[in-house]
Amino acid sequence: MLRVVRFAATLGFDIEAATLAGIQARAELVGHLSGERIAEELRRILAAPVASVGLRLLADTGLLAPISPELAAQRGIPQNKVPGEDLWDHTLRAVDGAASEPPYIRLAALLHDIGKPATMADGRFLGHDAVGAGQADDLLERLRWPRHERERVVHIIRNHMYGYVPTWSDAAVRRFIAKIGRDALDDLFLLREADNVGSGRPRDGGGLAEIRSRVEAQLASGVVLSLHDLAVDGEVLMAELDLTPSPRLGALLDALLERAIADPAINTRPRLLALARSLLAEDDA
């Protein structure tokens, strides 16, 4: 049954009426397929020139609900985005608007609002990013999706609701980079592009071009973003400050990192050691 939908999506076929009726009558049987089989067919549907064709067929035939009741629940949920379209329509627009490479971006677009049905209250979806990340992780685990792709998809779903405004300071941009991680920034921005398209906005709307430019400028300047970038490490602090491996040492490194992200000029060994001594003195006072 999944292969029929995939052929319709990838080859432009119509499904013969009796075959379509048979699928609709037995759709629940898809729940007996292995996760790997479902994942392979879903991957091919997402790779189709217009992936929404296959995804709509999954929903219309009843095949989607046994695979993901959370996604199936999106139908009929109002969205204040494109007039006359519901949450499922938004999701399909986002998938069609997503970049084809890397291929898991379309998967992320499919799942980015999976948490909305469970969090809907008074026309709002508070916390749907965190809830959706957990639901997406559970679904992809059931489908035995490759771990490296699953982790990337879940991470950008969890963070896709970031709210950039032009008044962000450079330090705020650096904190954003540190939170998301260098390797995930491009993925997150590609998901935001897809979400913009799904919402009927320009692809680079919502300040996307600006935050991309500011992130690129910070990365090019070699700013401090992780403990690895600090001019001192745990061994230096232990030798210079008579510390031992402990939670206190870890907390001190984290505090130094936070200060260096805010002010990259302090990222020198003398200044960090002086700051560390000051922080320890404050802690002991």
d(CA 175, CA 238): 27
pLDDT value for 74: 98
88 domain residue, yes or no: yes
Do 140 and 35 have their domain in common?
Answer: yes
Pull the structure tokens for residue 69: 């009741």
50 domain residue, yes or no: yes
Do 251 and 147 have their domain in common?
Answer: no
pLDDT at 279 over 80: yes
- The stretch 75-91 carries a mean pLDDT of 94
pLDDT at 211 over 80: yes
d(CA 167, CA 126): 24
> What rounded mean pLDDT belongs to the chain?
96
Angle at 39 between CA 74 and CA 71, to 5 degrees: 5
Do 157 and 232 have their domain in common?
Answer: no
140 domain residue, yes or no: yes
Contact 113, 132 (CB under 8 A): yes
16 domain residue, yes or no: yes
pLDDT at 283 over 90: no
CATH code of 91's domain? 1.10.3090.10
pLDDT value for 151: 98
190 domain residue, yes or no: no
- The stretch 14-22 carries a mean pLDDT of 96
Do 137 and 232 have their domain in common?
Answer: no
Do 123 and 251 have their domain in common?
Answer: no
pLDDT at 222 over 90: no
DSSP state of 50: T
Do 14 and 89 have their domain in common?
Answer: yes
Do 146 and 234 have their domain in common?
Answer: no
pLDDT value for 257: 95
pLDDT value for 121: 93
Do 137 and 13 have their domain in common?
Answer: yes
Domain boundary among 143, 162, 181: 162
Domain boundary among 109, 127, 162: 162
| pLDDT tens readout for residues 106-126 | 999 999 999 999 999 988 999
Do 152 and 250 have their domain in common?
Answer: no
Q: How many domains does the chain have?
A: 2
194 domain residue, yes or no: no
Contact 234, 253 (CB under 8 A): yes
d(CA 210, CA 228): 27
Domain boundary among 146, 162, 178: 162
| pLDDT tens readout for residues 134-187 | 999 999 999 999 999 999 999 999 999 999 999 999 999 999 999 999 999 999
Domain that holds residue 256: 227-284
pLDDT at 284 over 90: no
172 domain residue, yes or no: no
Do 264 and 136 have their domain in common?
Answer: no
